[in-house]
């Protein structure tokens, strides 16, 4: 039996993945933004081991989630499912001065990865939309460009894949992979989505626990099949630049190299 922590799992694909993993005999810890969403998650999935509550919109909130997750003990796998979508009509700024979509989709997974005790497997959710953009380290936080919600979201999904491959390269003791679940009818995907909902949660669950996936790292998947990501995601120079920029933004450096035994500190 494995223990899996799934961020952003009070509903949608995160909750579906959690239920599937529990059906397979694994222990699942969910994550919800606030107490009301946590109550909804417990009602929808009473078999969950626990629900960690915390708003990852802010760096402090993401630190809190990492701290609470660490208190529960080491996980075998973490699925970074938390995200917001592409419909933001303007640049919404968080209290940290970051675009909301970047704070949730990029900074939160970075903070959790850097501060949580290192699991054996890490899974990051990207999107097919990442194929149509390029990394914009000249204006990572959309301070000079005219805002475009779809492009901003797509860039965050490129950074998710880039981050998964960076972690795979720097942490050889961790199987770190990225995937796209498809355009499915979740709250984020919307009612017009056309992809297979039944397939949307299966790849992340498989990567988190399947024996066949234990030695797979630095790969990109769609519906259980390996596929090619945006070539920029595999560029080591861009990967390290992303880690450095996220470290500067969050005030938390990324520590490369083999696992050091003992729990990470979120303080």
Structure confidence by residue, pLDDT tens digits, 100-128:
999 999 999 999 999 999 999 999 999 99
54, part of any domain: yes
Which H helix or E strand runs over 192?
none
How much is the average pLDDT of 222-249?
Answer: 97
Q: The tokens of 38 are what?
A: 């946590």
User: At residue 187, does pLDDT exceed 90?
Assistant: no
* Residues, the chain: 267
Helices (DSSP H) in 171-253: which residue ranges?
202-209, 236-250
How much is the average pLDDT of 142-163?
Answer: 98
CATH code, 52? 3.40.50.720
Catalytic annotation on 159?
A: no
At residue 192, the pLDDT reads: 59
At residue 128, the pLDDT reads: 95
Comparing CA positions, the residue from 34, 155, 185 lying closest to residue 91 is 155
Query: Which of the residues 124, 153, 159, 222 is marked catalytic?
Result: 153
User: At residue 266, does pLDDT exceed 50?
Assistant: no
Q: Report the sign of the C-alpha dihedral through residues 85, 87, 88, 90, in that order.
A: positive
User: At residue 36, does pLDDT exceed 90?
Assistant: yes
Specify the pTM. 0.92
105, part of any domain: yes
Residues 169, 233 contacting (CB under 8 angstroms): no
Domain carrying residue 89: 3-250
At residue 86, the pLDDT reads: 84
At residue 87, the pLDDT reads: 85
Query: Which of the residues 86, 110, 124, 157 is marked catalytic?
Result: 157
266, part of any domain: no
Comparing CA positions, the residue from 245, 16, 211, 14 lying closest to residue 123 is 14
91, part of any domain: yes
* 237 band by pLDDT with thresholds 50, 70 and 90: very high
User: At residue 262, does pLDDT exceed 60?
Assistant: no
What's the number of domains the chain is made of?
Answer: 1
Strands 27-32 and 50-53: parallel
How much is the average pLDDT of 226-230?
Answer: 98
Strands 220-222 and 225-226: antiparallel
Classified as helix, coil or strand, 124 is strand
267, part of any domain: no
User: At residue 184, does pLDDT exceed 70?
Assistant: no
Q: How far apart are CA 7 and CA 83, in angstroms?
A: 9
At residue 199, the pLDDT reads: 73
Residues 45, 230 contacting (CB under 8 angstroms): no
Q: Is 74 exposed, middle or buried (0-12, 13-18, 19+ CB in 10 A)?
A: middle
258, part of any domain: no
How much is the average pLDDT of 29-48?
Answer: 96
* 265 band by pLDDT with thresholds 50, 70 and 90: very low
* 198 band by pLDDT with thresholds 50, 70 and 90: low
Catalytic annotation on 124?
A: no
Pseudo-torsion of CA 246, 178, 117, 135, nearest 10°?
Answer: -10
Which H helix or E strand runs over 53?
strand 50-53
Which H helix or E strand runs over 217?
none
| DSSP-assigned letters across all residues of 150-205 | HHHHHHHHHHHHHHHHHHHHH-TTSEEEEEE--S-SSTTT-TT--S-GGGTTHHHH
198, part of any domain: yes
41, part of any domain: yes
Residues 224, 203 contacting (CB under 8 angstroms): yes
- CB burial string 44-59: b at 16+ within 10 A, e below: ebeebebbbbbbbbbb
At residue 258, the pLDDT reads: 77
How much is the average pLDDT of 193-214?
Answer: 82
Pseudo-torsion of CA 235, 118, 15, 230, nearest 10°?
Answer: 0
């Amino acid at each position: 039996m494995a223990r899996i922590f799934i961020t952003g799992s009070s509903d949608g694909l995160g909750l579906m993945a959690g239920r599937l993993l529990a059906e397979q005999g694994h222990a699942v810890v969910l994550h919800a933004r606030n107490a009301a969403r946590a109550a909804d998650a417990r009602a929808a999935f009473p078999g969950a081991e626990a629900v960690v509550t915390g708003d990852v919109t802010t760096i402090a909130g993401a630190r809190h989630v990492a701290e609470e997750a660490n208190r529960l003990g080491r996980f075998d796998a973490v699925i970074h499912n938390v995200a917001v979508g592409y419909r933001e009509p303007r640049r919404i700024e968080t209290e940290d001065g970051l675009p909301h979509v970047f704070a949730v989709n990029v900074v939160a997974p970075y903070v959790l990865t850097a501060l949580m005790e290192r699991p054996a497997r890490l899974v990051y959710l990207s999107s097919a939309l990442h194929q149509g953009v390029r990394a914009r380290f000249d204006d990572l936080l959309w301070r000079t460009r005219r805002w475009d919600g779809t492009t901003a979201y797509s860039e965050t999904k490129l950074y998710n894949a880039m981050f998964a491959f960076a972690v795979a390269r720097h942490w050889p003791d961790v199987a770190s992979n990225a995937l796209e679940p498809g355009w499915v009818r979740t709250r984020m995907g919307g009612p017009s989505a056309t992809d297979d909902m039944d397939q949307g949660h299966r790849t992340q669950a498989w990567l988190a626990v399947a024996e066949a996936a234990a030695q797979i790292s630095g790969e990109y998947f769609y519906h259980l099949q390996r596929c090619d990501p945006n070539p920029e995601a595999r560029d080591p120079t861009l990967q390290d630049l992303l880690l450095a920029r996220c470290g500067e933004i969050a005030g938390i450096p990324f520590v490369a190299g083999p696992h050091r035994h003992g729990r990470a500190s979120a303080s």
